Amino acid sequence: MSLSVLSVDQDPTEKQLAARKKEMQKVDPSKYVNDTGVEELWAEKAFRHAQVYYKLICSINCTKLKLSKCDDELYQNFMVTFPRVNIEVIDEDKMKSVAGKRRWRNFCNMFEYHVEDFNFGTLLRLDCKDGYSESNTTLVPRVQFLAIEVARNRHGLNMCHLGKNPNPESGEGEEKKGSNDSETTENESKPTENGTKADVKEKEPLSA
């Protein structure tokens, strides 16, 4: 699943989302496959969910996270059903093979009436040590995402993200800006031709 596709119209207003949801409810389910508007709405929701979840594991001790009211049941059933699955790095080909899909479908159906939107398309990171990216992301039902991420969190595998900047691009920009500001201050502080130092304005603290 390409994140470049999911990032289209990333920040619709709540009013727009509500309107689209209302329109979605009026659509004949048999037409969903060919309805690009519905696909966009699903993509937006999946992308937003991924952003929120990654911010969580970057700011909170993952071993203390509770992702649903069924975390205990999800974890116990997952460990019994998939005892040999490497949750650190998911084998996408094996997971989405005919046999893999059958096992996961049976697992997900157990929680149909216990997990809200149990089969909603959700973005899952293949390698838990990395963040969301086009090469490290696959689309799975929500129950499957919850089962794998609950297990990862309970095993402390997402602790490597604690303290990271969930938006690395903006962080790099701030770091670069700070470097430029430092150079400017240094240049302004140097003696002028007249032998006096140029006045340097006191910088305002950056907002959090």
CATH assignment of the domain containing 153: 1.10.3560.10
Domain presence at residue 57: yes
Domain presence at residue 201: no
Domain presence at residue 169: no
Domain presence at residue 88: yes
Domain presence at residue 52: yes
**For the chain, how many structural domains are there in total?**
1
Domain presence at residue 97: yes
Tell whether the model's pLDDT for residue 203 goes beyond 70: no
- Give the whole-angstrom CA distance, residue 3 versus residue 141: 17
Domain range enclosing 18: 3-161
Question: How many alpha carbons fall within 13 Å on the CB side of residue 154?
Answer: 16
Domain presence at residue 166: no
- State the DSSP H helix or E strand holding residue 102, giving kind and residue range, or none if neither: helix 98-109
For 74-101, write each residue's pLDDT tens digit: 999 999 999 999 999 999 999 999 999 9
CA distances from 201 to 63, 120, 186, 193 (A): 46, 54, 12, 20
For 21-58, write each residue's pLDDT tens digit: 555 444 444 444 445 666 778 888 999 999 999 999 99
Give this prediction's pTM.
0.66
For 92-151, write each residue's pLDDT tens digit: 999 999 999 999 999 999 999 999 999 999 999 999 999 999 999 999 999 999 999 999
Assign 169 a pLDDT band (cuts: 50, 70, 90): low
Domain presence at residue 137: yes
